[in-house]
Amino acid sequence: MRDLYLVNVKVGRGSNGTLPSTLAGAYVSAYATAPDPESATRLAVSKLTSKGFEFLATQGPISRLDPREWSRHVAQSWPEFIDELPKQDELAAGLEREMVFFGPFVGYERRREGSSPRQESPGTCASRR
């Protein structure tokens, strides 16, 4: 039996060519159908690295989501991307097999040499799946 997990990930640019050249990497919410949180994380990282990103870290806890609440989750978390994320029926079908998809990628810039430490500046990247 597979469940739906949310794995927040920080990635570096790697060899991926979809990030604007000013960005060093991105934060992304990865959604994976898997039997357990560890498998979901491996699946998400594998999919990101296959796209050329460099895996840097997971961010926060890995959460199990109720797939029956998917439409509500998308409406609350990503209302501006509602047409770009899987629909409720697509998600239900994904519970029968492995599936990974991504929320929006939020890019961050490189810290300039010699500058004082600061928060990474968010930018956006349109890559999702």
DSSP 8-state class, residue 37: H
Task: Tell me phi and psi for residue 22, to 5 degrees.
Answer: -80, -10
Query: What digits encode the pLDDT tens for the residues 50-75?
Result: 999 999 999 999 999 999 999 999 99
Q: Is the pLDDT of residue 127 over 90?
A: no
Give the Cβ contact number of residue 67 at 10 Å. 16
DSSP 3-state of 114:
coil
Closest CA to 31 of 54, 2, 55: 2
**pTM of the predicted model, to two decimals?**
0.82
Question: Over the stretch 71-110, which tens digit does the pLDDT of each residue have?
Answer: 999 999 999 999 999 999 899 887 888 899 999 999 999 7
The gap between the terminal CA atoms of the chain, to the nearest Å, is 23
